[in-house]
Every structure is written in C-alpha cells, then in structure tokens.
Amino acid sequence: MKLQQLRFLDAVVRNNLNVSSAAEELYTSQPGVSHQIKLLEEELDIKIFERSGKKLTGISPAGYAILEHVESLLNNVKNIKQAAREYSNANRGSLSLATTHTQAQFILPPVLQKFTNKYPRIDMQVHQGNPKAMCKLAANNSVDFVIASETIDEFDELITIPAYRWNRYIVVTKGHSLTKKSEISLADLAAFPILTYMLGLTGRSKLDRTFHAANLEPNVVFSATDSDVIKTYVRLGFGVGIIAEMAKGSEHDDELDCIDASHLFPDSMIKIGFRHSRHIAAYQYEFLQMMTPYLDLETIKELVHTKALNDRNKILEQYPTPSYRTMRESIKW
C-alpha cells in the first residue's frame, strides 16, 4: 500500500467519483489514477468502488469502511509535515483562510496587516465564497481556518472559537421617511422594498427568521454578496438596504444615511473554525489570538485541544464574546 494510492483514492471521492477531475487536481493522468486504485483493490482483496463498465457508480460498503481511515491518515500526514516545517524553519510557512466577502473586505485587512508585519515570510491565501462552501474547505482540511457566521455550526468536523458579535444597519437615501422616525419597527421596514444579502450569506437566515417570527414577509427585491453593491442600488432608488454593521463604512456619505438596526434583530456571531485533527503552528496560534484578542494564548490553546463542545462552552463562559464595536474601539482592530 502506497501513500500515493490513498491520495488518489481520496481525490476520486472528493471529486464525486470523477476520475478525470481527480487526475486533473493531482496533475497526473486518468489511466494512472485508475491503475493505482485497481492495484490497491487487488492488494486489499476488496472492491472499493462499484462500477458499470469502466465508470465508477458508487462506493462499496468495504470502501466506506476504508475511507474513514484514509481521511484520518492523510490528515495525520499533513500534520506531520506541518510540525516538521515549523521546527525546520520557524520563519517560513503558510496561512490559508476561507471566508466571505464581508470578512475579507472589512475585518481581515487590519488583522492580516498586523500579522504580516510580524511574519513577513509567511505565505497567505484568502479564499472567498459562500459560507457553506468555505466551511467545507476547512472541514476537508483544505485550508487552515474558516471565518464565517451561523453556517459554521453545521459542520461537526470543525472546532469553532467565537470572534465577535455583530448586528445590522439600515441604509437609505438622504431624506428618506425612515430617517424621520424616532425608532423604526419591523413593520416599518417591511413596508419598503428591501435590498440585502443573498440567502446563505452574512446572517441572512437570522434576518428572515426575525421577520417571520413577527408574522411579516420581507419584500426582498434585490440580493447580492457585496454590501457595496447593495449600497449602489439603494442610491439608485431600488429600496431600503440592510447590511452588516462592519460594512457601514463612512458616516459622511453624501447620498446615504445609515440607521442602527440592532434593536430589531438579534446579534449574529462570527466564529473561526478549523478541523479538529489538524496541527496548528505557533504563528497560526498568533493569528487566532489576533482574531480573538479578548482571549489569552493559553486559553486559545486549551480550546483547540478540547474536543467536546460542552467542555469548550464551559471555558468560554468565562469570556463573554465582545461586540464588533468593542473590538474596533477598545481593542483597536
């Protein structure tokens, strides 16, 4: 049995049994992948895949049993390499992040600037996309950390640490009737066409649930992944925008007014997630602390090595998660 064969096997499964896609990912040939998997099946004296002719149609019961160990083994190999690299050259390494557009644009810049000032020789990658796809990258151990909102809790493979709480702002054109109200209600908001994030992005699900709990149906006429795009169409008169408070931007916009909506919606939580079995280098721990400066380094390490969710929650009870405003104003993000 060769490690390369296990990598081929893992790639085929991750590519939905498409051998051509797996070969392309691994920079090798389709016949080469098929041959190595066949050799592995012959050595183990089982069929890992079900076939129709030459096409893979499914995973056999024996294949499922083997794949549980393959994933763990490949993760351990990656951890061994990362641990060795940390000791062979402490000033070199990589940091790969998966997150949404909002976090990449408004939260990560000051944190990564601080990080690169301290670790200029660490290579960085930031993947942007919808929260579910980004969480899958972390669950598959394809990136070091994912930074996302509610969706992150759906992935049992991930250990998560809260970063900060956030809420929303209503964005309207100057002189809009909502600016004249002393306090806006959900019914007031539901009376206008609404522009906000696409389903699955930046707390959208919590926003929808809040309206539905009040027996109101929001008239969402425009949705986007980018708060700047939402603002653009608010300026054009499409309706009223609802955006994350991180994306509020300048309070001196000549065309728009931003109204605090934290009295209307419950807070959402941004968390950092990583696969429970991965090795975390010393400089990666420092990144975690830069993202969660309300926690000391020893507490972060304790959370990383605490597998049970209830036990992690007991530790976090001593450290209430700060709001975005607190992080920005007091901790100087």
pTM: 0.73
pLDDT at 42 (0 to 100): 84
Residues 172 and 236 in one domain: yes
Please say which residue of 260, 281, 299 terminates a domain: 260
Closest Cα to residue 158, out of 278, 77, 269? 278
The reply to whether 124 and 76 lie within a common domain is: no
Q: What is the CATH number of the domain that holds 21?
A: 1.10.10.10
Q: What's the confidence (pLDDT) of residue 250?
A: 64
CATH for 192: 3.40.190.10
Q: Are residues 223 and 238 in the same domain?
A: yes
Query: 72, 56 in Cβ contact below 8 A?
Result: no
Whether 218 and 173 map to the same domain: the answer is: yes
Q: Which of 85, 106, 126 is the last residue of a domain?
A: 85
**Cα–Cα distance measured from residue 68 to residue 75, given in angstroms and rounded to the nearest whole number:** 11
Same domain for 131 and 79, yes or no, is: no
Q: How far apart are CA 258 and CA 221, in angstroms?
A: 19
81 and 95 share a domain? Answer: no
The whole domain housing 79 covers 3-85
Assess whether 233 and 306 both reside in one domain: no
pLDDT value at residue 108:
95
Please indicate, yes or no, whether residues 177 and 146 belong to a single structural domain of this protein.
Answer: no
Q: Are residues 141 and 177 in the same domain?
A: no
Give all strands (DSSP E) within 85-187, no chain letters: 93-99, 122-128, 145-148, 158-166, 168-173
Same-domain check for residues 176 and 254: yes
- Number of domains into which the chain is organized: 3
How confident is the model over 233-243, as pLDDT tens digits?
A: 999 999 999 99
Q: Which residues of the chain have pLDDT under 70?
A: 79, 82-83, 85-92, 200-203, 250-252, 331-333
Q: Looking at residue 244, what is its pLDDT?
A: 94
Comparing CA positions, the residue from 44, 20, 41, 43 lying closest to residue 32 is: 20
Q: If we measure between CA atoms, which residue out of 318, 286, 321 comes closest to residue 301?
A: 286
pLDDT at 199 (0 to 100):
79
Final residue in a domain of this structure, among 260, 278, 311: 260
Strand extents, DSSP E, 139-264: 145-148, 158-166, 168-173, 194-197, 220-224, 240-244, 256-260
Label residue 47 exposed, middle or buried (CB < 10 Å: 0-12, 13-18, 19+): middle
**pLDDT in the model for residue 301:** 94
Are residues 165 and 246 in contact, defined by beta-carbon separation less than 8 angstroms?
Answer: no
Residues 162 and 216 grouped into a single domain: no
Pair 272, 151 in one domain:
yes
